[in-house]
Amino acid sequence: LHIRVEDELYNNLNSYSTRNEQSIQDCVREAIAYYMSNMRKRKTVKKINKFTFIDLFAGIGGMRIAFDRAGGQCVYSSEWNKYSQQTYFANFGQQPEGDITKVDEADIPDHDILVAGFPCQPFSIAGVSKKNSMGRATGFEDKTQGTLFFDICRILNKKRPKAFMLENVKNLCSHDKGRTFKVIKESLEELDYEIFYKVLDGQSYVPQHRERILIIGFDRKRYGKNINFEFNLAPCDSKPVMRDILDKEVPDKYTLSDKLWTYLQNYAAKHKAAGNGFGYGIAPLDGVSRTLSARYYKDGSEILIAQKGKNPRRLTPRECARLQGFPDTFKIPVSDTQAYQQFGNSVVVPLMGEVAKLIINKIDRLDEEGTGWKKVI
């Protein structure tokens, strides 16, 4: 695609490219994607959806699918990774905004629910401890400044959605001897939200052992403090197994080379002799796999599929999508390497969808009780 532009526009584009440390090609692609997103918004007939939500640290849109299915309308999304942006745009026709740290919270549309699968960054506790020892109060900005969690806090503080749902790795609870989670919980409570959290495993919905912590919050200023919430997930009719998500025919390129397979076997034997549990994992066809990670593209060792007369193989990107509960209609426009990282960083879509339903049902009950403000449109 060749584009002819005037000198002044080129100079401005070149300056923008330098400031944002992006290639001109990426800048132009981003601009076109934003333009197409805006055109799509203009042509879309306004729907009367059950609720609105925003999708922060959106990745490839796993959370969006879950909340869309629950009857929601996404009014804003943010994701900084350009490859994830490509996948998001290919599937939703909207370009997520880039670096959330540079976004003014006042410019984000009003919404009912904030959804975020935020990265876990280290929190500085020293400054907080010093202020506490001096008898000085500390607000959420003092505790979380400099972390991406702070961006969630400032948006909650400004927009005050009815509720939020945050997702992270289960080790968030024990990170830094529990101090990180303590800061997160206190910061959200100081913003006047009633907090509920639980570690959930996605293996009831997909054939994968995948534990993640979900943090749910409801606005006390809107609903008061007498709020109860239970993670009462509906039981699944039938538990899926690995063979349910596998393709019948898979290209040979996904079969491990002799060199890699020998290395993985030797590596596993070495650690087994040392009493460690490290090593490759052959997924049971009638069971569940280990957790899919973003490093899967390196060797696929955590989830391998046995083959008759051949070395084991890794999953295909489409099989990884199914392992996370994405529909087969979900488009994968990026390379295998990027796709493995994207699905490894994503969420179990049907599990998130079930939790989304619980949140919506709770909000509906609270609104019916007459304790809430008029619904944000």
Mind telling me the catalytic residues? 120
Query: Bridge-partner residues for 211, per DSSP?
Result: 201
Find where tokens 């026709």 sit. Answer: 93
- Pick the closest to residue 312 from 276, 337, 279 (CA basis): 279
**CA 97 distance to own-chain centroid:** 15
User: In whole angstroms, what is the distance from residue 156 CA to residue 141 CA?
Assistant: 12
Q: Contact at 8 Å (CB) between 331 and 83?
A: no
Q: Which two tokens stand for residue 187?
A: 């910061």
Q: Which two tokens stand for residue 365?
A: 């009950």
> Rounded to the nearest 5 degrees, what angle is found at the Cα of 288, between the Cα atoms of 283 and 294?
75
**CA 271 distance to own-chain centroid:** 32
- What distances in angstroms separate CA 271 from CA 93, 278, 309, 312, one per listed residue? 47, 6, 26, 20
With a CB cutoff of 8 Å and minimum separation 6, the contacts of 373 are: 222
Residue 35: count other Cβ atoms within 10 Å of its Cβ. Answer: 11
